[in-house]
Amino acid sequence: MSQPFRTEKGGRIDRSQQLTFTFDGEEMQGHQGDTLASALLANGVHLVGRSFKYHRPRGILTAGSEEPNALVGVYRNGDQTPNLRATQVELYQGLEAISQNRFPSLGFDVGAVNDRLSMFFPAGFYYKTFMWPKSFWDKVYEPVIRAAAGLGKPPKNPDHDHYGNLYAHCDVLVAGSGPAGLAAALAAAETGAKVLLCDEQAEFGGSLLTEANATIDGKAPADWVADAVAKLQAMDNVTLLSRTTAFGYFAHNYIALVERVTEHLPTPDPKLPRERLWQVRAKEVVIAAGSIERPMVFPENDRPGILLAEAGRTYLNRYGVKVGHKVVVATACDTAWQAAFDLADHGVEVAAIVEMRETPPESLMSIAKARGIRVEAGCIVTGTLGRKRIKSALLGRLMTSGQVASGGQVDCDALLMSGGWTPTVSLYSQSRGKVVWDADKGAYVPGKSVQKERSVGAAKGLYGLQATLEDGYAAGEEAAKAATGKSATITYATATGGEAGDGGTLGALPHDRNASRVKAFVDYQNDVTAKDVKLAVREGMQSIEHIKRYTTTGMATDQGRLSNMNALQIASGALERPMTDVGLTTFRLPYTPTTFGVFAGVARGDFFDPVRKTPSHDWVVDNGGVFEDVGQWKRTWYFPKNGEDMHAAVARECKTVRDSVGLFDASTLGKIEVVGPDSAEFLERMYTNPWKKLAPGRCRYGLLLNDAGFITDDGVIGRLAEDRFHVTTTTGGAPSVFATMEDYLQTEWPDLDVWITSTTEQYAVAAVQGPKAREVIAPFIEGVDLSNDAFPHMSVREATFCGVPCRLFRISFTGELGFEINVPRRHGKMMWETLAKEIEKHSGTTYGTETMHVLRAEKGYIIVGQDTDGTVTPQDAGMTWAIGKKKFDFVGKRGLERPDLVADNRKQFVGLLTKDPKVKLEEGAQITTAETPATGTPAEGHVTSSYYSPALDRSIALAVVKNGHALDGKTLYVPMPEGSIPVEVTGTVFYDKEGARINV
């Protein structure tokens, strides 16, 4: 028979819609509205997984997101997602699920041998062994341990789905839609406040969807929920998000939610994201996260067929599924009795209610009696039988002595248990609130609010339908008032039934079994037993954090929501200290495991990081140029022609620039406009060089230090007018130089009358370099006499290029005659294409960053960040000429006077020539005085730049070397794995040492 454990009628499933799904390849049926867990139970399947360490058979324990056992892998379109909770996976037609952590099959798992050998694997056993022989840990032991550990298998393919991201603001965010949450949302919405209500489940209503024995405003709870949701839906000021978990509570009331958009659909619309991140800034938050039931810690409390009582009731009332045909209910509190009554009312045989309390409430006793249910008061379960499914429960009678007497055996095919209730304080704890122990409730409850939030209902240990509703309404009103100042008259709904229950127990139950042989689980998923917790204490662990880390209790995927309180109680008993002295572990985000894709969102592929392109970009693509990433910029690296490799292309580009002319896109260089009467004074203070005497129309190389005295940036600065400078920076340094200038200007020298503006993106810059540079630009430039006399090296003019206003610099980073033309960016493409065409007439070339590097290295020009590394001073770099000697102050001046910066033995910037001109050094290679230095010999320095120089037809290199300036002509060595390379120390200028070519 299909679905033998389905009830005749009732529940919220749609019985008219039959769905087919598979579990471990076996085909089964369920209904629309089922979770995978409820559908499996309807088919009588309890065994769904194997535990982490002992590989014990495990069944479905809960009906919620705290499920520790029923973790499955779900396949869709070849993508597998591991570790999904069957209790949260909504059933759809064709769903394919597999069990995990078993080999070869769920029924027969060789890993189960661990259970037999468990006496050798107590908590922390791995710290005490696997140490011999020394080399065996990562070669032998660790691989075996790693293969045995882990739950599901990781996904095999790149994820094809996409993920969304939304930002939202609201007055009141309500997390959870049980009675308290719904009431809070209704009340807040009524005041006109902007309300966002989210719930992790597919349907709103929380516990009300399970509640069958109460009314609200005379309606069945589920009907009242439907009306309330309809009312909220109709309001413009309310956003309702189901399948949405509030998983993170950050500073300043910033809440992260994850919405599962398509995972429940058989054929998702590919346009929709699989999941979506909501980042919500809420003025007020109402935490209505409810509470979860605690397992009872008795021997063999982990067999398939053992569930929490309320879960059994949920499967019955909400999903129309009976967890068994013959059920034992073990409890220490009132609420579980209702599960027994509901089951009995559906014709399930309740074999016994095993009540820990000696005298349960008379009201419950009489209902049980009326239904003919056997009640064993003052009794507990001391063990269970049945390997893959519970067959019977062993009972024990609590004696006044504290001992347990055998109470016989009861056959059953399912056992429901309840150790009482634990408020869900995860979000409160994430908000950095400190929970407080409430002795009356036997629970930790939220203490003082640290952020603008309030917990309501069961989340703060308040139970009973009427009380919860009232609390919710009041909190909703208060939150709205606090957020908006507005209030309204709210009519509270009234409820009957759903009374709060008494009772509950914490920690391990006593038993009459052989303590050394039985296992009573505290943390199901991580296989932590009561014995493990006691062992940790015996070994000196006193803080709950140590106990947690040593035993791994509370570190499973439910973050200890089921296990923490029991573990605390056991630890407290073993330590003989009150529970409140043992401490409490911190709940971390996320509330439930959250997909990485949700965090990454749209930041993938091209959207991973913005791409910054220069105006020549498309032209370069069309002409086969190769790009390199420099920060976010795409810069052209080189332009291979006719199948050239990089070396050949660069050699040709270099030669062409020196022989005729080259065109280079310099748009990425940082540009800052410095304007105002005190501009020169400002630059005087920022840069090492003097600026006051620089005439308008002239340029100067500027060197920038930090106040520690080290070089941080450089660039050419042109004076356009008395009160206006055009500053250039390195590409990578542009943002930080600008920020540093703003910093000094605004906070140290607010007296200066200067404005600075970043203009990097405002200009497109073309560098035309080479002997024919003047001829190339002349046809397009108007307004400047380009002759060497009228417009010498290191000059700047405002002119036009093809009629477009431009700033024309005569500067050179190649050692050749050179110009840099700045036009407004929108004209950059026109400028580039015009010049690219023009250089062809002169047999010129476009060139990229690599050629630029070679040409400047031939001239010994430094590149900040390559030849310097944040530890280099101007003196080290041989640039004392750049320091204004008479200046009162500049950034870095005082730093330069510090003891180590003026000490001997500093590494100084030099040139290196290999004795064999064909040998090119590797950049970063170390330099020593000894030809074959012993390991550990301190290096004299390192190679900062190294190239083949087409102009010299040999290799050249730049380096920093200790006292290098005094070593001219000396031989040093660059030790390499293949042997030492002898080098001669030289000056840094290799080509055109007189600098004649620049002044033509």
Partner 1 sequence: MKRYSFLELAKNAFSAHQNWGRQWRSPEPKTEYDVVIVGAGGHGLATAYYLAKEHGVRNVAVIEKGWLGGGNTGRNTTIVRSNYLWEESAALYNHAIGLWQGLSQELNYNVMYSARGVMMLAHTVHDVQVAQRHIHANRLAGVQNEWLTPEKAKEYCPPLNISKNIRYPVMGAALQRVGGTARHDAVAWGYARGADDLGVDIIQNCAVTGIRRGQDGAVEGVETSKGFIKAKKIGVVAAGHTSTVMDMAGVRMPLESFPLQALVSEPVKPAFPCVVMSNTIHAYISQSDKGELVIGAGTDQFISYSQTGGIHISNHTIDAICELFPHFRRMRMLRNWGGIVDVTPDRSPILSKTPVAGLYVNCGWGTGGFKATPGSGHVFAHTIAKDEPNPINAPFTIDRFRTGRLIDEAAAAAVAH
Partner 2 sequence: MLLVYCPYCGVSRPETEFSCRGEAHIARPADPSQTSDEDWVNFLYMRSNSKGVYVERWRHIHGCGRFFNAVRNTVSDEFLKFYKTGEPMPDLEELAKEAGK
Instruction: For the segment 715-744, give every residue that binds partner 1 (CB under 8 A).
Output: 730-733
CB 10 within 8 A of CB 321: no
Rounded to 5 degrees, what angle do the CA atoms 189, 191, 193 make?
A: 60
Nearest partner of 159 among 94, 260, 81, 98, judged by Cα: 81
Select from 36, 63, 417, 864 the one that contacts partner 1 (CB under 8 A).
Answer: 864
Residue 969: count of CB within 10 angstroms of its CB = 7
63-71, 718-726, 886-894, 970-978 -> range binding partner 2 (CB under 8 A): 886-894
Restricted to residues 892-921, the positions that interact with partner 2 (CB under 8 A) are 893-895, 897-899
Compute the least distance from the CB of residue 824 to partner 1, in Å. 24
Q: Is 169 in the site for partner 1 (CB under 8 A)?
A: no
Given partner 2, partner 1, none, residue 549, with its beta carbon under 5 to 8 Å by kind, binds partner 1
858 binds partner 1 (CB under 8 A): no
Binding mask 362-391 for partner 1 (x = CB under 8 A): ------------------------------
**Cα–Cα distance between 466 and 381 in angstroms, integer?**
33
Please give the Cα distance from 817 to 803 (Å, whole number).
24
Return the number of the residue (341 or 550) whose C-beta is nearest partner 1. 550
> Cβ 142 to partner 1, closest distance in Å?
6
Is residue 752 within the footprint of partner 1 (CB under 8 A)?
A: no
Q: Which of 154, 194, 156 is nearest to 174 (CA)?
A: 194
Binding mask 412-451 for partner 2 (x = CB under 8 A): --------------------x-----------------x-
Give the pairing of strands 763-769 and 781-782.
Answer: unpaired
CA distance 913 to 891: 35
Q: Does 252 bind partner 2 (CB under 8 A)?
A: yes
Fill in the DSSP letter of residue 748. Answer: I
CB 373 within 8 A of CB 336: no
Site for partner 2 in 699-718 (CB under 8 A): 707-708
Q: Does 550 bind partner 1 (CB under 8 A)?
A: yes
- Among residue numbers 835 through 854, which ones bind partner 1 (CB under 8 A)? 849
Q: Which does 748 bind (CB under 5 to 8 A by kind): partner 2, partner 1, none?
A: partner 2
733 binds, among partner 1, partner 2, none (CB under 5 to 8 A by kind): partner 1
The nearer residue to partner 2, 134 or 886, going by C-beta atoms, is 886
Q: Do 34 and 19 form a contact (C-beta atoms < 8 A)?
A: yes
Residues in contact with partner 1, counted by CB under 8 A, come to a total of 122
Strands 941-949 and 926-927: antiparallel
- Residue 83, classed as helix, strand or coil, is strand
709 binds partner 1 (CB under 8 A): yes
* Contacts to partner 2 from residues 446-485, by CB under 8 A: 450
3-state SS assignment for residue 808 = strand
- Told to check if 531 binds partner 1 by CB under 8 A, we report yes
> Which residues fall within 8 angstroms of residue 181, CB to CB, at 6 or more apart?
174, 175, 197, 199, 206, 286, 288, 456, 457, 472
Cβ 900 to partner 2, closest distance in Å? Answer: 10
Laid out side by side, the sheet with 724-729 consists of 699-705, 711-721, 724-729, 670-675, 755-758
CA proximity to 715, closest of 669, 767, 770 = 669
Cα gap 194→886, rounded to integer Å: 65
Question: Binding of partner 2 at residue 753 (CB under 8 A)?
Answer: no
Picked from partner 2, partner 1, none, the partner binding residue 837 (CB below 5 to 8 A depending on kind) is: none
Q: Which does 137 bind (CB under 5 to 8 A by kind): partner 1, partner 2, none?
A: partner 1
* Residue 325: DSSP 8-state: S
Query: Which residue among 22, 29, 279, 963 contacts partner 2 (CB under 8 A)?
Result: 279
The interaxial angle of helices 530-538 and 544-551, nearest 10 deg, is: 120
599 binds partner 1 (CB under 8 A): yes
Minimum distance between the CB of residue 747 and partner 2, rounded to whole angstroms?
Answer: 5
Q: Which of 345, 645, 742, 953 binds partner 2 (CB under 8 A)?
A: 742
Cβ neighbours of 430 (radius 10 Å): 23
Q: Is 268 in the site for partner 2 (CB under 8 A)?
A: no
Question: Cα 619 to chain center, whole Å?
Answer: 38
The residue range among 127-135, 225-233, 672-680, 877-885 that interacts with partner 1, by the rule CB under 8 A, is 127-135
Give dist(CA 446, CA 457) in Å, integer: 11
Out of 21, 52, 54, 638, which residue is the one contacting partner 1 (CB under 8 A)?
52
Q: Which is nearer to partner 1, 280 or 657 (CB)?
A: 280
Rg (CA), the chain: 38
**Is 972 in contact with 985 (CB distance < 8 Å)?**
yes
Among positions 898, 916, 979, 999, the unique one binding partner 1 when judged by CB under 8 A: 898
List of residues contacting partner 2 (CB under 8 A): 250-254, 279, 281, 432, 450, 707-708, 739, 742-743, 746-748, 750, 888-889, 893-895, 897-899
